[in-house]
Structure 1
Amino acid sequence: MPKIIHVVCKLLLDSAENGPVVMKDMLKGAGLSDEIKKTVSEVVTVQLGKELLMHNSDASDPFHPTAVVAEF
């Protein structure tokens, strides 16, 4: 994650100072792409884990029903 933050900050600074930024120089090296993929995967995994925990806690909490029965 720190590499992504560094790249984004660099892009913002360069953009503010110089206008258009040449991405080619910043993205040299195969490691950055792999690092971004890994970070995105980790963020998605953490988010899914949080959603599953919230869903499981809602299902076990009688005061927050997950379904409402309507009478007609």
Structure 2
Amino acid sequence: DSLQEATDARNLAKEEVGRLTIELQQVREDRDMQKAKVNILTAEVEKYKECTGKSTSELEGLMTKTNCLE
């Protein structure tokens, strides 16, 4: 009886480890997917910052030329 209980407990523990292993793998995959999304968005933000900086610089140059013409 005691041996059967120990065997049952061991089997339950093995099943739980299996479930947790699958869950951990899913969490890792989700993390990797989110990290990839963050990297893509970070690159887009940098691109827009660069464009905004160029636009601002061009606008300032045009404003200076306009002021000189007035």
TM-score (normalised: structure 2): 0.46
More helix by share: 2
Whichever of the two has the greater Rg, that structure is 2
